[in-house]
């Protein structure tokens, strides 16, 4: 009879357990020194080796000839435990044996000495499923156990176990296995199974498995069913990662506010028997991918399961979205998914959800209003004149008594050589006017990141600063004058800052120092005044590719 890979290749010793050296080394040292605890608690996510280590430990404590803390696998006790012939090692599933009577049956046997082995070992899997009465029945035995008893408790949800039980166990936390370790193990197994497995395919399996070795072996089993020559394309086909162009199509429809495209795509997928709830989950995951690309930048590849082509396509699409709009899409999709499980038509719910995403003005939640304001702010930054009629249209035809402030006085003067010319006024008057209109610049951190990509020296000199926007100036508030002295020493540094600002904000600005308003300020010129005059008289050309 064929045995699946995760059963066939289950580790038989601590040395074969991968990714958990902090657990295996400690257990081996305890067995070598004879310091065996009466109760162990193994906790961690699925497929990380909890039950496997419990079975190895049950053989190691009963082995007649252990080697360096490892069970020999050849003595009568090891062979009998592996074959299930020795009744002193009991494995029970607390998910189906969770009542107080089940635990009392176990406790009735505890007082009897082992028949063949050194220790009577009880492996209780999914121990968090025990009832409160069962935990109470187990508590007294854990507090004063017989010398021949070893309890090994395994769980994926340690927070559900009472503190009185936790305090009486020696706890071991199993970590998610690193993708590199899983890939190396898969390549080793594939070689012995006579299957060709590429490194890219192994890494993709490891990424999909999400740190679980058992899941990785199950995926490898599926891939072997498709082909003996396993590459990343076979893995994508076996795991369903291939053919997800519709997610990019739906995301483009949201960005372009194309409701017909979104509805037609949903109908096409519905006719092809695509689960609507699963589609909603996949689209949520897709926007999560875009969110990670926007926030993690260079480290996003480590957290995203995608081929190189799809990753490049996702990065291109992420540039079209702002981070706040992506977060809003995730929030709306999750709310729609939650309502699907309450009943009603999933198709109608998802269509309504997509219409809300494609038309933010139809939604009245805070995130939708924020998205609309962000769009208006971006238009203003790009120099678009927003008239009263456009605002009325944006408000869905409703009459508004209030009008937008007159922007003609604050409209930037026509740029010459990408540099805004300044009226010939004294620097003090100019500074006072700018300070009066200065507003904190929220995207300064993003500008600093862009600045870092151009010059690390400039970035470190400008750390600890903040900025304000006033007319066609970005005013920089620095703790002291050293940052401005650094800028005055080389005009190229001034140019780099302005290029970073234009890259983020979409238009050119002049830069200057921010001076907090002070009463009875001295009449003579300060270093800041001299700096603003120098910037006003400069004619530096800014060219951004």
**Please, are residues 57 and 172 in contact by the beta-carbon 8 Å criterion?**
no
Of residues 411 and 480, more confidently modeled: 480
Q: How far apart are CA 398 and CA 379, in angstroms?
A: 21
pLDDT, tens only, 75-91: 999 999 998 888 899 99
What are the residue boundaries of the structural domains of the chain, listed by start?
A: 5-174, 179-239, 245-367, 427-517+524-537
CATH class of 179-239: mainly alpha
| Residue 22, both tokens | 């902090």
Model confidence pTM above 0.75:
no
The pLDDT of residue 542 is above 50: no
Question: CATH number of the domain at 427-517+524-537, please?
Answer: 3.30.300.180
Which of 257-266, 470-479, 511-520 is predicted with the least confidence, judged by mean pLDDT? 511-520
> 245-367: which CATH topology?
Zinc Finger, Delta Prime; domain 3 (1.20.272)
The pLDDT of residue 403 is above 60: no
Supply the DSSP string of 498-541, one letter for each residue. HHHHHHHHSS--EEEE-----TT--SS--HHHHHHHHHHH----
| Residue 403, both tokens | 């009008």
Count of H helices and E strands in the chain?
A: 25, 11
Read off φ and ψ for residue 177, nearest 5 degrees: -75, 135
Residue 11: which pLDDT band, with cuts at 50, 70 and 90? very high
Q: How far apart are CA 88 and CA 58, in angstroms?
A: 10
| Residue 291, both tokens | 């969110």
Instruction: Give the list of residues 6+ apart from residue 293 with CB closer than 8 angstroms, or none.
Output: 300, 304, 314, 315, 318
Q: How far apart are CA 242 and CA 286, in angstroms?
A: 14
> 5-174: which CATH topology?
Rossmann fold (3.40.50)
For residue 411, the SS3 value is: coil
- Give the number of other Cβ atoms within 10 Å of residue 415's Cβ: 14
Q: What is the pLDDT of residue 366?
A: 61
Q: What is the pLDDT of residue 290?
A: 93
| Residue 170, both tokens | 């020696």
Q: What is the pLDDT of residue 528?
A: 54
pLDDT, tens only, 280-300: 998 999 999 999 998 887 777
Q: Identify the burial level of 364 via C-beta atoms within 10 angstroms of its C-beta, where 0-12 means exposed, 13-18 middle and 19 or more buried.
A: exposed
Q: How far apart are CA 426 and CA 255, in angstroms?
A: 46
């Amino acid at each position: 009879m064929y045995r699946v890979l995760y059963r066939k290749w289950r580790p038989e010793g601590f040395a074969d357990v991968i990714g958990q050296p902090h657990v295996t080394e400690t257990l081996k040292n305890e067995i070598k020194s004879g310091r065996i605890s009466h109760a162990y608690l193994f906790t961690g996510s699925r497929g990380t080796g909890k039950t496997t280590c419990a079975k190895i430990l049950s053989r190691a404590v009963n082995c007649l000839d252990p080697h360096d803390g490892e069970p020999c696998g050849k003595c009568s006790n090891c062979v009998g435990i592996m074959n299930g012939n020795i009744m002193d090692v009991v494995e029970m599933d607390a998910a189906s044996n969770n009542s107080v009577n089940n635990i009392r049956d176990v406790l009735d046997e505890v007082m009897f000495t082992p028949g063949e082995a050194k220790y009577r070992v009880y492996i209780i899997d999914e121990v968090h499923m025990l009832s409160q009465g069962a935990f109470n029945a187990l508590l007294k035995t854990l507090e004063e156990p017989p010398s021949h008893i070893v309890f090994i408790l395994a769980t994926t949800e340690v927070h559900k176990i009472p503190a009185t039980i936790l305090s009486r166990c020696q706890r071991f936390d199993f970590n998610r296995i690193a993708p590199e370790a899983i890939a190396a193990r898969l390549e080793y197994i594939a070689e012995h199974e006579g299957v060709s497995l590429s490194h890219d395919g192994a890494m993709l399996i490891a990424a999909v498995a999400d740190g679980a070795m058992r899941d990785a072996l199950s995926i490898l089993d599926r891939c072997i069913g498709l082909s003996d020559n396993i590459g990343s394309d076979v893995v994508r086909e076996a795991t369903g990662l291939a053919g997800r162009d519709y997610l990019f199509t739906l995301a483009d429809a949201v960005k372009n506010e194309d409701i017909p495209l979104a509805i037609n795509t949903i109908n096409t997928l519905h006719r092809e028997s695509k689960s609507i709830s699963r589609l909603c989950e996949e689209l949520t995951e897709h926007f999560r991918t875009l969110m990670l690309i926007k926030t993690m930048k260079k480290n996003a590849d480590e957290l995203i399961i995608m081929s190189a082509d799809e990753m490049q396509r996702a990065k291109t699409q992420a540039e079209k979205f702002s981070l706040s709009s992506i977060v809003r899409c995730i929030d709306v999709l999750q709310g729609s998914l939650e309502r699907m499980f309450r009943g009603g038509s999933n198709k109608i719910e998802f269509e309504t959800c997509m219409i809300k995403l494609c038309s933010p003005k139809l939604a009245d939640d805070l995130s939708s209003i924020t998205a609309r304001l962000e769009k208006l702010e971006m238009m203003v930054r790009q120099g678009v004149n927003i008239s009263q009629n456009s605002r009325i249209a944006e408000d869905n035809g409703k009459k508004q008594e209030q009008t937008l402030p007159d922007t003609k006085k604050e409209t930037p003067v026509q740029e010459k050589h990408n540099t805004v010319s300044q009226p010939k006024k004294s620097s003090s008057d100019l500074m006072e006017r700018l300070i009066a209109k200065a507003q904190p610049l929220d995207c300064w951190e993003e500008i600093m990141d862009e600045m870092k990509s151009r010059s690390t020296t400039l970035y470190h000199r400008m750390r600890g600063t903040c900025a304000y926007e006033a007319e066609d100036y970005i005013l920089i508030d620095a703790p002291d004058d050293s940052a401005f002295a650094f800028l005055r020493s080389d005009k190229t540094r001034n140019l780099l800052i302005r290029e970073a600002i234009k890259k983020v904000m979409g238009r050119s600005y002049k830069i200057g120092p921010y001076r907090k308003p002070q009463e009875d300020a001295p009449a003579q010129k300060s270093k800041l005044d001299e700096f603003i005059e120098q910037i006003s008289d400069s004619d530096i050309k800014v060219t951004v590719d």
